[in-house]
Chains A and B, each alone.
Chain A
Amino acid sequence: MEILEDKPGKKILLLGNEAITRGALEAGVDVATTYPGTPASEIADTFSSIAKYFTKQKKDPGFYFEYSTNEKVALEIAAAASISGLRSLTCMKHVGLNVASDAFMTYMYVGCRGGHIIVSADDPFCHSSQNEQDNRYFALFGGAPMLEPTTPEEAKEMTRIGFEISEQLQSPILLRTTTRLNHARGPVKLDKLQKPRKKGHFEKSQMWVTTPVIARIRHPELLKMLEKAEKISEKSEFNKIINIGRPREWGIVTSGVSFNYVKEASEDLKLDVKILKLGMTHPLPRKMCESFIKSCKNIVIVEELEPFLENQLKEIAYDIGSNAKIYGKSTGHFSRLYEYNPDIVIEAFSKIFNVKNPIVKPNPSTIKLPRRPPVLCPGCPHRATYYAAKKAQPKDVIYPTDIGCYTLGREKPLEMADVLLCMGSNAGMACGFAVAIDQKIISFMGDSTFFHAAIPAIIDAVHHNHDVVITVLDNRTTAMTGHQPHPGTDFDGMGCPAKRIPVEDVVKGCGVEHIEIVDPNNIKATTEAFKRAVDFKGPAVVISKSPCILLENSFKRKRGEKIYTYEINQNECKQCKTCIGRFGCPAIYFAQDSSIHIDIQQCNGCGNCATVCPFGAIHRKEDLK
């Protein structure tokens, strides 16, 4: 594996996320934990493939890695390891830190011993997320020192050096990234790999036990740590000034991926500016910021999302009595919304610096293109479950949904995703709707989501006898984020056998009395099961079991098994459109003459279209895929 090469000085192309993993390996990380989530997933997936690579050869990878049940558990495991003196890393998407925040906020009080990097992968523009919250405020909120990389190479360096800073401060460090760093590839210069130390030792001390008395002792210690961290920030190689042209009174302050756009825009517009590039953005290097502000008459702040730097810089400017004009979000030159790109920064600069915008955008085309939203894959078992649930109760139903592939059930023709907040919210909201309204409630979530955050809500449904149908779409994987294992699978993230926890056992243990276990590919039986669940007064859980078709077909290919495809017999087809207009498989399409066909390149061979066709016009093709 290229990422394991111990060749200092060699340059290899790495994804930002892979670079973070490499940085951890160069720091000799002992324990890595996660719950998968875009755009963070490949950090952990890289640990997982390295671990599997060693496990296959019956060798020890040197580190322990797990896909934890949720982000809170992931953080707690790594915190314990770090408190025992081991180096640990926990990675998650931005909203994952909300889940882990209960542990995070008090962990900042007690601190750690071995270095601990907590990666928060933010998602400006919500490419794959339910919100675009700016997690830099978690650094302020909890009191965590924070690093923000600009390129994959810097991500690797910040991870490697971040462990040292963490140990120096005896505090976990937040490594805050954004999608354009996580999913950008760039050349990364390798350093030496370090061997992990393997076993830690826990020194007992009452300081680890955050009773009120101890918490009151720890809080001032946290503030002292931040003073020390500020001194490190002043000297940090990650905070630096870069001159473009012959700068005099204009300065730009920026961090993260925004630096890329700032640098190129400044060069392209031939500006004379000095850029304060901040890599350690909490605590800010106050003295460095003071002297930068003093040296400028005009300062432009460029940062995605919230005015995190802008407000702090203004505070510093006020304290030192500076009259420098500060341009940014408050002057309306930059937005608090979405992610930035070269166009946005060049446009804002051309206004602020009063220069011509060199970008010539061609006129938009007058041809209207069809939208191409993401959809449930052809052959996805969730589609069959949805279809059956709708047949069982066609009208007057509210469908709370959850985080995962099933949000795609929102698209036509299914339209079976009515409300969504966060991981596990389907079940809690189902209970609330049962209290608030008279309509039937059928909620949906995946198996990984069930283990992650939905169990307390199911217990609530049982204890308060809420009249709901809660559906677990059990496809035996965490599909949307790239097929990671979870507590319901019989192997773990290191490729070792693991104890599988069946969803139904947990549901039974929660006290649910009406449980239906179905194979959604038997649409008739699934429809009957939903009917019984809807008729039951009180909480019913439907567990719909069928593996993710992408995973299943890849296993079939590996085993050399046949994957059949299906075709529509044009003589038998009455063009009733059930397969397209109701079932909605994206492999089925209208030809120019409005006859209906199956695209064999897309068909994954589930055969459910043949079941739903009222005229029996769809047949398995004899020639194989």
Chain B
Amino acid sequence: MKDKINIVLTGIGGQGVITAANLLGKAAVAAGVNVFVSEIHGMAQRGGSVNCTVRLGNVSGPLVPSGTADVILSTEPAEALRYIHFSNKKTKIITDVTPIIPFTVATGDEKYPPVEKIFEELKKYAEVYTVDATKIATNAGAIVTKNVVMLGALAGADILPFKSNVLLNVILENVPEKYKQINQKAFELGVKSIKK
């Protein structure tokens, strides 16, 4: 296992990116692995682009140097490309496939590139895994579990220095009783989605 593992989580305010980063951090503590998580609150959350980092192992702070991400986990395709400066050839980019069109496009000022072009571009930089997390989460029973599907995909990608069950248990400990089953399903489908 690597000495340091750098994970960059990206997406849009409201998609549960911060929650996912927090759950990953809790799982690391449960597994006895050193961890730092960085997040941005407040103004940045109102529909804006969100970027969190999780660092595991021999690290002393939460910020990731450019070009050193082991994983970029994104709940939105364009947001994966926005943070591409964290990547290197060995980075695994795991991204949801559903674009969320920002308001700057609706007002006619800017354009959202065709999503296929985004995937092509991402592949020039790193290893790309696409996950239809929106669909999987809906099938699992609730679209809000999209972040849990993505965490499942991350657990399935053989990067984390602890077993996927540690992460699943932490997720289940942190959701209300009546949503446990849906979250477990979302996580397990997420794991499967990456092990094609």
Contact = CB atoms under 8 A, between A and B. Distances in A.
Interface of A: 11-13, 38-39, 41-42, 127-128, 150-151, 179-180, 183-187, 257, 259-261, 263-264, 341-343, 346, 359-362, 364-365, 367-377, 405, 407-408, 411-413, 480-482, 580-581, 584, 586, 588-590, 601
Contacts of A480: 42-43, 46
Given A361-B85, A589-B106, A343 B66 contact: yes
B38 interface: yes
A364 B59 CA distance: 27
Interface stretch (B29-37, B148-156, B183-191): B29-37
Contacts of B163: none
Nearest to A260: B61
Given A264-B60, A589-B105, A601-B143, 4 more contacts: A38-B41, A127-B42, A180-B62, A586-B47
A121 to B, nearest CB: 11
Contacts of B38: 180, 183-185
Contacts of A405: 46
Contacts of B113: 367-369
Interface residues of B, number: 60
Interface in B14-71: 21-22, 25-26, 28-29, 34-49, 59-68
Contacts of A367: 81, 113, 117-118, 121
A472 B63 CA distance: 40
B81 A369 contact: yes
Contacts of A128: 41-44
A127 B48 CA distance: 12
B112 A370 contact: yes
A584 B41 CA distance: 24
Nearest to B62: A184
Contact of B42 (A38, A343, A346): A38
A342 B82 contact: no
A13 B21 CA distance: 12
B28 to A, nearest CB: 8
Given A261-B61, A367-B117, A369-B82, A589 B104 contact: no
B84 interface: yes
Interface in B91-130: 101-113, 117-118, 121, 125
B12 interface: yes
A362 B44 contact: no
Nearest to A373: B48
B141 interface: no
Contacts of B65: 341-343, 346, 359
29 contacts: A13-B22, A180-B61, A180-B63, A183-B40, A184-B37, A185-B38, A187-B29, A187-B34, A342-B63, A342-B65, A359-B67, A359-B68, A361-B67, A365-B84, A370-B104, A371-B110, A372-B104, A374-B43, A375-B46, A377-B47, A405-B46, A412-B109, A480-B42, A481-B42, A580-B106, A584-B107, A586-B102, A586-B106, A589-B106
Contacts of B39: 183-185
